[in-house]
Amino acid sequence: MYRQVLIHEKQRSLQKILWRANKEYDVQIFKLKTVTYGTACVPYLVVRALQEITANLNQHSQEHQRS
């Protein structure tokens, strides 16, 4: 499930992996597109993301019903 949660493009710079195979190479920067799993905070991040999506959908639905 966790790998299915995409990170918004504007937020991807907050989850980076810096990689250098050895001292001879430049550091490469990888921006993650999905929520990182295998860390203690992942369940919180997934639940929080789903709560935010639900809140946004509810707000959009209410605005649509008013018009």
Question: Model pTM greater than 0.85?
Answer: no
Kindly give the residue spans of alpha helices, DSSP state H, lying in the chain: 42-66
- What average pLDDT does range 60-66 have in this prediction? 79
Q: Provide the pLDDT confidence category of residue 45 given band limits of 50, 70 and 90.
A: confident
Residues 20/28, Cβ–Cβ less than 8 Å: yes
Give the mean model confidence (pLDDT) for residues 16-44: 84
Q: Where are the domains of the chain?
A: 2-66
pLDDT at 50 over 70: yes
Look at residues 8, 6, 30 and name the one whose alpha carbon lies nearest to residue 17.
Answer: 30
